[in-house]
Structure 1
Amino acid sequence: MASWPSSKSIRAEWRGAAALALLLTPLPAAAHSFGRIYNLPVPFWLYAYGAAAALLLSFLIAGYFATAPRAAAMAAAPSHSCDGLRAALRRWQLPMGLRGLALLCLLLCMLSGYIGVRDSYRNFNMTCFWIVFVLGFAYLTALIGDLYALVNPWQTLAALIGRVWPRYWRGRHAYPAPAAYWPAVVLYMGFIWVELFGNTRPWSLAAWLSLYTAINLIAVGLVGARDWFRYGELFSVFMRLIAKMAPIDYVPGRHLRLRKPFSGLLETPASHWSLLVFVLFMLSSTAFDGLRATVAWYRVFWGDASGWFTQWFGQSPIYLYVQLRPWYLAYESLCMLLSPFLYLAVYLLFIVLTRWLGGRRHSVRELAFSFAYSLLPIALVYHVTHYYTLLLTQGVKIVSLLSDPFGYGWNLFGTAGRFRAPFLPDLGTVWHTQVGLILFGHIVSVWIAHTEALRLYPSRGRALLSQLPMLVLMVLFTTAGLWILAQPIQGR
């Protein structure tokens, strides 16, 4: 701004015009749009009505075909043991090799961030961590189970320290029971804040990973590896929840077996309020990321719909864009942190209605925990629909980055020139894929919730009646999810 004339009026007009243009322009979402407008082939309300009708139909089908014995059979569905395969893989030293590879990737992410080029697209760590791990590995977990429990690089680091210092692995203090999963919730919120507002670059990502590594190693020394990686380490909790939907049930050192897809959601209920909040934040953080990219969201603050800011500052906040930008960051951060508790309030309202219609046989707490995992398919498809295109546009570049992780112009494995150009799918295909995934996730959630209701209530009619509030909640989630997705791509 130093090159512009010093006149305050000129600067104010320029800032106001620029901000106003920003406000009135259809904004592309940072992580799930393509920077150009796509006009929906039919009005949005048709998609909303169609999705609601599909959910209602699936609810009626579930109510007609699902019975208490079938629900019990699905929850206790027999699994096919693959322990022979697990033993063979262990003999081939595959688990040890995967642990070593995961630890190498973590160390390379930190090293390349510190000494590599500052270009985010040419540095290995940005693509490896944000795209391959946070997105790709999470989606892989939904297919093959909790592989992260085996390859967790922070657990591997702690185990290496434990070999030299055995007491370190066991910890100095017992894990406090009231803490439950709250440390994972706090770290998850911090992680999302860094993702959305941290403006990370290779060096800062390396610094954040170093800090997170230090937190994990200190926590293991305090409360022990077993409890920390069960309750406190955010990716352990995150991947374990996603793995409940996988057709492969894998617990390192215990078993490897096949099961019906999504049947893991019915095995046990949520065990604590903190775990329920974690699940709800999986939903709300993704929805918030999409919502904050819409014109409607920007207008709430910068358009001053209430008129309070104009009265307070003496002029519209859009003309004070530069001065108010830090306050807007604080406002968005607060909204993000409060989002899971807002979702919790809405969720509990519908749970209270479920209890009332179900005959009050169970407490609100019991019902809230019992139906918590039925939200996980929605959380997964929200995540996939918002971010999966990044795997096509940026994730494929990991092949070339492996040969040149620091951006120095190397070609270690002969792949430096491979897949540099992103795959750009047709926007119509992307939109209808998103609609299909959103609808699929909600239908699965309706089915899981109804199956759980059949286990909780004695009669089929009472179970069906109790699920009417959950059906309404699913319709609201579906409509809101589709609306958020449609805003950045369909224009004003």
Structure 2
Amino acid sequence: MLCSLLLFTAPARAHGGPGISSGTVDAPTWLFLLTGVVVVAVSFLLTSFVTDRDLLASYHDRRLSIPGGATVRRWGTPVGAVVGVLGLASVVVTGVFGPPEADRNLAVLLVWVVWWAGFTASTYLLGNSWPALDPFGRLAAPLSGDGVISLPDWIGRWPAVAGLLLLVWLEVVTEVAADPTQLTVVVGTYLLATVLGSVLLGLGTWRRQIDPISGVFELYGRVAPIQRTDEGLELAAPGAVLTDVDADGTTVVSEVGFVIALLWVTTFDGFVTTPGWQSVAAPVIRAGLPAELAYFAAMLVGYALFFGLYWAASARVRPGGEAYRSAPRIAAAFAPTLLPIAAGYHFGHYVPYFVTQLPASIVVTLNPLSPPIAPPVLGLPGWIGWAGPVAVLLGHLLAVWAAHTRAFELFTGGRQPIRSQSPYVVVMVLYTITGLWLLAQPTIDVPFV
């Protein structure tokens, strides 16, 4: 899979997708970041006053069954299957036979605008419907069985971590986000990998341990207020299920690694579009280091920093909270509380892009093989630049609340849970300020030649 994808590496792009822009914030960067720090500090102080365990439990344990949810699930699965397979077929056909321009090609618009920007946002705003839509798993299911290979336990989800990092790296260093042909080959390769993985390992193992796409949507779905159950659909408070984690059942370090990978790739995707990164990368690349290698090194170093920072905080929680639990168990128990920050940054970075490109997507869908020369795009008002920062801060508030609740579930007394959160609050502050800084930067998309 990797060899076939690397055939399409080209001079590194700053970003993928036709005309992506998250807007700009009309305020001094220092004031913008200081405001974020104040909001973060106040949110921690306010949640510290909430020590009633029954109140915390009522927020996270209360569930309302959605009327007709069982019917929606029963009919939604076959309908979603048809939509997913037709969407995949449309990507392949228009990727091969459609126009070469990214803003006129339905394959590019479906994958980057409708799916990665719009559908991904729906998974954390509404609920994860990918299990019903997933065309890759749907086409692989007839050939899947119990598998002929068993993975050792220590592997965990590390293959999914590697796959997620690889996909985002490919988006950055290739033309896959703007070249319909390359996009079609990558999609076809992913389908082939899913089929082979399902045959060799079984579809369940593939989705759980190998498939990064299913893993991303599963994690984002934990933030959403609508949750799938065996009986149908339930309505919960936003982020309520983030604490529904058995600390003893999530001790595998790779579980933490996948959450951190999701947080990092959303950051990396925006970081490589900033002038700061370009000013560092351009001289290095011109000095002779291949652009692909420079971006790959940045991807790995950044991931190691994010993971190391979180792991160091988890190691500090144990003495701080006087807990009789290992650092890996504590890290796994709190890792899902970081997901709202990733969701907030994704919203701020991609949703304005989705709204801008939605008219073009609709028009091209109506005539995919012969679309207009200049598909319409929607102009956004100036205040939209604040949508991203607000989304990041709201994500942080939800993350702090979820971590606060998790601490009171794991630790006894009144002071121990508060003290245990301090290292994680520092980590959340750094993650959040990083996201705000990225949203405040101008976006550039200049390939190195």
Distance of 1:365 and 1:446 partners within structure 2: 20
Paired residue for 1:282? 262
Contact 2:47 2:404 in 1 (8 A): yes
Q: Look up the equivalent residue of 1:216 and give its one-letter code.
A: T
TM-score by length of 2: 0.87
Is 2:51 the partner of 1:71?
no
1:47 to 26, 32, 40: 32
Contact 2:147 2:201 in 1 (8 A): yes
Distance of 2:351 and 2:423 partners within structure 1: 31
Distance of 2:319 and 2:226 partners within structure 1: 37
SS at 1:425's partner residue? coil
Paired residue for 2:4? none
Paired residue for 1:104? 86
Identity %: 26
1:365 Cα offset (Å):
1.0
Q: Tell me: CA distance 1:82–1:351, structure 2 relative to 1, closer, same or farther (3 Å).
A: same
SS at 2:233's partner residue? strand
Distance of 2:208 and 2:336 partners within structure 1: 17
What's the Cα RMSD here? 2.7
Q: Look up the equivalent residue of 1:131 and give its one-letter code.
A: V
Give deviations 1:429-486, integer Å, cap 9, x for gaps. 1332222111111111111111111111111212112212222222222222211221
Is 2:165 the partner of 1:183?
no
Q: Look up the equivalent residue of 2:26 and give its one-letter code.
A: L
Distance of 1:31 and 1:60 partners within structure 2: 40
Give deviations 1:379-427, integer Å, cap 9, x for gaps. 1111111222220222332211212222x35xxxxxx79x932112134
Contact 2:113 2:353 in 1 (8 A): yes
Q: Tell me: CA distance 1:38–1:375, structure 2 relative to 1, closer, same or farther (3 Å).
A: closer
Q: Tell me: CA distance 1:156–1:80, structure 2 relative to 1, closer, same or farther (3 Å).
A: same
Is 2:201 the partner of 1:223?
yes
Contact 1:377 1:441 in 2 (8 A): yes
1:197 to 151, 155, 173: 173
Give deviations 1:119-150, integer Å, cap 9, x for gaps. 11111100001111111111111133221111
1:293 to 273, 279, 293: 273
Write the mapping of 1:464-483 to structure 2, written as runs, cut at 5 A.
464-483=418-437
SS at 1:293's partner residue? coil
Paired residue for 2:9? none
2:361 to 381, 398, 408: 398
Q: Look up the equivalent residue of 1:289 and give its one-letter code.
A: D
Paired residue for 2:105? 123
1:356 Cα offset (Å):
2.2
> Number of residues paired by the alignment?
427
1:74 Cα offset (Å):
3.5
1:222 Cα offset (Å):
0.6
Contact 2:14 2:272 in 1 (8 A): no
Q: Tell me: CA distance 1:454–1:330, structure 2 relative to 1, closer, same or farther (3 Å).
A: same
Distance of 1:88 and 1:286 partners within structure 2: 31
Contact 2:251 2:328 in 1 (8 A): no
Write the mapping of 1:268-417 to structure 2, written as runs, cut at 5 A.
268-269=245-246, 270-302=250-282, 321=286, 324=288, 327-406=290-369, 408-409=370-371
Distance of 1:388 and 1:87 partners within structure 2: 30
Distance of 2:24 and 2:112 partners within structure 1: 26
1:39 Cα offset (Å):
7.0
Give deviations 1:139-194, integer Å, cap 9, x for gaps. 111133221111211121123x34xxxxx433223344332212211221221112
Q: Look up the equivalent residue of 1:220 and give its one-letter code.
A: S
Gaps of 5+ in 1: 1-26, 163-167, 304-316, 410-415
